[in-house]
Every structure is written in structure tokens, then in C-alpha cells.
């Protein structure tokens, strides 16, 4: 059966109206409502409080609430926009909006920079880049020897760090990505283009009507 959303539906803590989120993201109000169905499912998978905890996030990514990974931890931290240890609905929608095909390229470039900036210093250092690359490889099917990984990372770091000061700043990162656009290929999820078509089980009963409909 599909999921029906109405104005009378029980709302999660700090719920933000679809029209508000649609005004600040690439999603339409009806798509925001579809995301709300997904959010409620994730946020009640372990703790029924309408907030996504790290264990629930791990469960959604790995089907295992106890599996820890630096990559997943960093993604969770970036989705946790209020820095209060949970993902709220507004942060969930705004973060997913960065992966929308119509999201600004600047946002898609900035997100992985923040991902790699493990110490939150405003720079990416060589050790941080290596840690994240190893974490990403751990979650993929690609197996590379440690020395090969270090050679690849060292080369990329030298190319990006044009000031040769041992750290990559946001401008250097932007220039590096623009020269190597494949680095942000995974920052675009095509199915976010039309959520109501991607997830046909969502039947949206809404007071919001999109202008183009």
C-alpha cells in the first residue's frame, strides 16, 4: 500500500513545512512530502522519536546498526546540521538537496571538502585525505594495496595543493575538482530529480500544488 501524507499527520520534532524547505532546496513541496515518508521510516527504525540517530543511519546504510565506518560517521555529521547528535527533518532534506541534479555545482564541490576536512580546520591535510580514501575503499569492491593507495593519494594531494603549504584550502579544492569533475560524480543522484516517480509507493495527498502541475 502507498503512504498517504495529510496535514493532520503526526509531525516529527522540529518539523519544517514542505513549502519552506522547497523554497531553499531543489525539491518541490510534494517531493519534500515524499521525503518525509522516508524520513519517518528511518527515524523510527530503532528509536521511535522522529529523529535519525547514528545507529539508525548506520542501519539504513549497512543494514547493521553496529557497523562503524569513518565515511558513514562523516556523512552523519554533515547531515546533523544543528550539531545535536541527531538528524532532523530539515537537515535531512537540505543535505539530500545537495545531491539533486539541479543543485548548484558550488554546493557539490563544497560538500566533499567538508567531508575530507576531518578536524574541521577549514583545510584538508594529507593524513585526512588518506584516512577518507581508505574508508571509502573499505566500503567498495575495489581492493588496492596500501602502497598503491598512498601513491595515488600523494599524487592527487600534490596536484591540488598548488601553494605547496601542506594543506588544501577551499579555492585549491575547487580548482582541483573543476579540472577533475569525476571527483564529484557521486554527488549527483539522478533519482532525486523526481521523487514521486522514483518511489511510486508514495501517494501524496497534499494541500501543496506545484506551479508546473
pTM of the predicted model as reported, rounded to 2 decimal places: 0.82
Q: Clarify whether residues 66 and 133 are in a common domain.
A: no
Q: Clarify whether residues 162 and 119 are in a common domain.
A: yes
CA 176 to chain centre: 21
From the list 103, 104, 94, 83, the residue with the least C-alpha distance to 18 is 94
Q: Clarify whether residues 91 and 119 are in a common domain.
A: no
Task: Give me the number of domains the chain comprises.
Answer: 2
CATH code assigned at 129: 1.10.238.10
Q: Clarify whether residues 95 and 195 are in a common domain.
A: yes
Give whole-number Cα distances, 85 to 53, 63, 93, 132, 148, in Å.
7, 20, 17, 21, 36
User: pLDDT tens string for the chain (213 positions)?
Assistant: 444 444 445 688 889 999 999 999 999 999 999 999 999 999 999 999 999 999 999 888 777 666 677 888 999 999 999 999 999 999 999 999 999 999 999 999 999 999 999 999 999 999 999 999 988 887 776 778 889 999 999 999 999 999 999 999 999 999 999 999 999 999 999 988 877 665 544 434 444 455 444
Domain that holds residue 113: 105-187
Q: Clarify whether residues 140 and 44 are in a common domain.
A: no
Virtual torsion, Cα 80, 86, 87, 89, nearest 10 deg:
-130
Give whole-number Cα distances, 184 to 106, 108, 141, 201, in Å.
11, 7, 19, 30
Q: Provide the grid cell at 46.
A: 530503532
Q: Clarify whether residues 73 and 136 are in a common domain.
A: no
- Find the angle CA(53)-CA(67)-CA(3) to the nearest 5 degrees: 45
Give whole-number Cα distances, 19 to 24, 31, 118, 139, in Å.
9, 10, 34, 36
Q: What is the per-residue pLDDT for 8?
A: 46
Report long-range pairs for 106-111 (Cβ below 8 Å, ≥24 apart). 106/174, 108/184, 108/187, 108/188, 109/173, 109/174, 109/177, 109/178, 109/184, 110/170, 111/78, 111/187
Give whole-number Cα distances, 8 to 5, 83, 93, 205, 207, in Å.
8, 29, 21, 11, 11
Contact, 186 vs 180, CB < 8 A?
Answer: no
Q: What is the per-residue pLDDT for 173?
A: 98
Contact, 23 vs 97, CB < 8 A?
Answer: no
Amino acid at each position: 500500500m502507498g503512504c498517504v501524507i495529510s496535514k493532520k499527520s503526526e509531525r516529527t520534532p522540529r518539523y519544517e513545512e514542505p513549502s519552506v524547505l522547497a523554497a531553499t532546496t531543489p525539491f518541490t513541496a510534494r517531493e519534500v512530502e515524499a521525503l518525509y515518508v522516508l524520513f519517518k521510516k528511518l527515524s523510527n527504525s530503532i528509536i521511535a522519536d522522529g529523529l535519525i540517530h547514528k545507529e539508525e543511519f548506520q542501519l539504513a546504510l549497512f543494514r547493521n546498526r553496529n557497523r562503524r565506518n569513518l565515511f558513514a560517521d562523516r556523512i552523519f555529521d554533515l547531515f546533523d546540521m544543528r550539531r545535536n547528535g541527531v538528524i532532523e527533518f530539515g537537515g535531512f532534506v537540505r543535505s539530500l538537496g545537495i545531491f539533486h541534479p539541479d543543485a548548484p555545482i558550488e554546493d557539490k564541490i563544497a560538500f566533499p571538502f567538508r567531508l575530507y576536512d576531518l578536524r574541521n580546520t577549514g583545510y584538508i591535510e594529507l593524513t585526512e585525505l588518506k584516512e577518507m580514501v581508505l574508508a571509502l575503499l573499505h566500503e567498495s569492491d575495489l581492493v588496492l594495496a596500501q602502497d598503491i593507495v598512498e601513491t595515488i593519494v600523494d599524487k592527487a594531494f600534490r596536484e591540488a595543493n598548488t601553494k605547496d603549504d601542506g594543506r588544501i584550502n577551499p579555492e585549491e579544492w575547487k580548482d582541483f575538482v573543476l579540472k577533475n569533475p569525476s571527483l564529484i560524480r557521486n554527488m549527483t543522484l539522478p533519482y532525486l530529480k523526481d521523487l514521486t516517480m522514483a518511489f511510486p509507493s508514495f501517494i501524496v495527498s497534499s494541500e501543496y500544488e506545484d506551479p508546473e502541475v
